[in-house]
Structure 1
Amino acid sequence: MEDESTKWGSTAWTHLSSTRQQSPLIQCITNFVSMDLMANTLLSAGASPAMLHSLQEIPDFTPNIHALCINVGTLTSDWLPAMKMAADFAFKAGKPWVLDPVAAGASSFRLEACLELVKLKPCVIRGNGSEILALFMASVGSSKGVDSTHDSTDAIDAAKALAEANGCIVAVSGATDIVTDGKRVVGARNGVAMLQKITATGCSVTALIAAFVAVDPVHAFEATATALSVFGVAAEMAMDFAKGPASLRMHLIDSLHGLDQSTVLSRVNITSL
């Protein structure tokens, strides 16, 4: 019988190779800080990024995408209607969409916007521990901007409740990335600490989740876990060549582009919790 690590490695390779073969179109409505790295992450994984957020274009464009990624990092009142419209179009077209509730608890405006977006049925919500707790408790709290003041494991119960209440997958980034559908819980243990020193790595892994869910929408739980792990494996490979955050960023993109089957099968580290 296939053991758990072999099964997850095989699933991760299937998702990465399917992304390379199918080149799914991923619409990203995201913050100005993250656009470059998100687009390059998607390209290096084989997907096709579209950084399109104009309200006027969404009715024509969004029904034709394979998945949507919404990131509220540099949220303004001008962008929120486009986010909501795109989410609505994606859901009605049967296309999965992924929410990154950046700094959800930092302000009332931001929290309310994220809660409104959650009501529009994301397939996956990915945030850090503090963001997931803010969504679960629906309350503004002491915040350190986009940085988490909680470990991912602090938010497991909140993530499970949030997933069950909204019928979605919830992923919590941290030293161990947590993924749950409300019942099942797995931990992805790939990655390097220096990723925290590069802006938009969390945003970029959310985009990769969207790409993996696009090629396997029926198995969003597995696609989310494998995207987190594959991104982490690429970071581990990149760390062998990096001298600091800037070179890690460069080598991360190269490593993701060059990942082969044997590396994915041997290094993916996902286990049930």
Structure 2
Amino acid sequence: MQQLSWRDSAVREALSHIKQHKPFCYGLTNYIAANLSANVLLAVGAGPAIGAVFDWQKVFGSHASAVWVNAACLMSNTAGEVRQAAQAAHHAGVPWVLDPVAVGAGAVEYDRVVQGLLEFRPTAIRGNASELIALAGGEGGGQGVETTLASQEALPTIQAFSRRLGCITAVSGPTDYITDGDRTIFVEGGDARLTQVTGAGCSLGGLIAAFLSTSADPLTAVAAAHVVYAQASERASSARGTGSFAVSFLDHLSLLDPHEA
């Protein structure tokens, strides 16, 4: 198992690529997380567009540099619209990210729709331990959008799941694990207050999409997004409360310099 950190050149090169090329990233996400998701992408230099408007999901889904689908977008988007975006990305060969928010928490019809998106072979799937175990067919035991399991408990499941689907799977926690089923990278650090900022986990899906648009191999790209998230939150750790932390996190995300000593 390999560790990736801010010191690694692959992380800095991927961030530099985003700042230089400003990839267009299209996403469907829930209205609670949309603002932070857009700001996270803007902070690193990417260009976001969010939402299903007429034929956006078909056109943007197939022409974006990368796409992300946060399953909680189903609170305001139809299942058909969400499938259109995933299908458009898949058919056009555009890398796309699935965040299966709250899968396994007992909403059977919702889970069925989210499971159906796997048909379109996401490049990467990210979530908490309970969500990913449930998505893989196990008993995740999630409570709403919160996990009841630690990230390391999901590792064997997501490794097997990645091999079966041929995708990258990333589980978030105090230590993040990112795997393609054969290789696994872990990322440490961050600040626990990310769990107290609405939409922080959801926004990571958008950042992963941006990193998948770079020249880094997909596993490294997904891990690099986690590193950048952790690094910015660590630098914001001197903030006094959760509100100032959220603002400081965005500030530090925008100030990360891939060429710093």
Sort the TM-score into its range (normalised by shorter chain): over 0.9
Partner of 2:112: 112
State the shift of 1:251 in Å: 0.6
Who is 1:228 aligned against?
226
Instruction: Quote how far apart the aligned CAs of 1:256 are.
Output: 0.6
Name the CA shift for 1:158/1:36 in 2 (closer, same or farther; >3 Å).
same
**CA distance change for structure 1 residues 157 and 261 in 2, over 3 Å: closer, same or farther?**
same
Distance 1:10 1:99, change over 3 A: same
Matched ranges for 1:134-173 at <5 A: 134-137=134-137, 142-173=141-172
Asked whether the 8 Å contact 1:27–1:49 carries over to 2, the reply is yes
8 A Cα contact 2:34 2:50, kept in partner: yes
Q: Higher mean Cα deviation, 173-182 or 7-16?
A: 7-16
Q: Which amino acid aligns with 1:101?
A: P
Matched to 1:21, the amino acid is Q
Pairing of 1:1-273 with structure 2 (within 5 A): 9-76=8-75, 78-106=77-105, 107-137=107-137, 142-216=141-215, 219-240=217-238, 242-261=239-258
AA of the residue aligned to 2:235 = M
SS of equivalent to 1:73: helix
1:111/1:138 contact within 8 Å kept: no
What is the distance in 2 between the residues matched to 1:45 and 1:11? 16
Counterpart code for 1:46:
G
Q: Does the aligned pair in 2 maintain the 1:55–1:81 contact within 8 Å?
A: no
The CA RMSD over aligned residues, in Å, is: 2.0
- Whole-Å Cα distance in 2 between the matches of residues 78 and 127 of structure 1? 20
Q: CA deviation at 1:199?
A: 1.1
Contact 1:171 1:178 in 2 (8 A): yes
Correspondence for 1:271: none
* Structure 1 ranges of 4+ moved more than 4 A: 3-8
Quick check: 2:103–2:134 contact (8 Å CA) kept in 1? yes
In the TM superposition, what whole-angstrom CA distance separates every residue of 1:43-64 from its partner, at most 9, and x where no partner exists? 0010000013235332333222
Distance 1:115 1:249, change over 3 A: same
Post-superposition Cα deviations, 1:128-159, rounded to whole Å, max 9, x if no partner, equal 000011011256x6431111100000000110
Aligned to 1:59, what secondary structure does the other structure show? Answer: helix
Given residue 133 of structure 1, which amino acid in structure 2 is its aligned partner? Answer: I
1:194 deviation in Å?
1.1
Is the CA contact 2:232–2:256 (under 8 Å) kept in the aligned structure 1? yes
Does structure 1 retain, via aligned residues, the 8 Å contact 2:5–2:187? no
> CA 1:232/1:81 → structure 2, altered by over 3 Å: closer, same or farther?
same
Q: What SS does structure 1 have at the residue aligned with 2:62?
A: helix
Partners of 2:203 and 2:111 in 1: how far apart? 21
User: 2-side partners of 1:77 and 1:253: how far apart?
Assistant: 26
Q: Aligned in 2, Cα 1:40/1:153: closer, same or farther, shift over 3 Å?
A: same
- CA gap of 1:18–1:33, structure 2 versus 1, over 3 A, is same
Return the alpha-carbon distance in structure 1 between the equivalents of residues 7 and 167 of structure 2. 20
Q: 1:6 to 1:254 in 2, by over 3 A?
A: closer
Q: Is the 8 A contact 1:8 1:226 kept in 2?
A: no
Q: Which amino acid aligns with 1:119?
A: E
Describe the SS at the equivalent of 1:210: helix
Q: Which position in structure 2 is the counterpart of 1:268?
A: none
1:51-86 CA-to-partner distances (Å, cap 9, x unmatched) read: 132353323332221110000125248522111111
The amino acid of 1:226's aligned partner reads A
Q: 1:5 to 1:138 in 2, by over 3 A?
A: closer
1:54–1:82 contact (8 Å) kept in structure 2: no
Displacement of 1:5 in angstroms is: 5.8
Unaligned runs of at least 5 residues, structure 2: none
What is the TM-score normalised by the length of structure 2? Answer: 0.93
Deviation digits for residues 29-50 of structure 1, max 9, x if unmatched? 0001100000000000100000
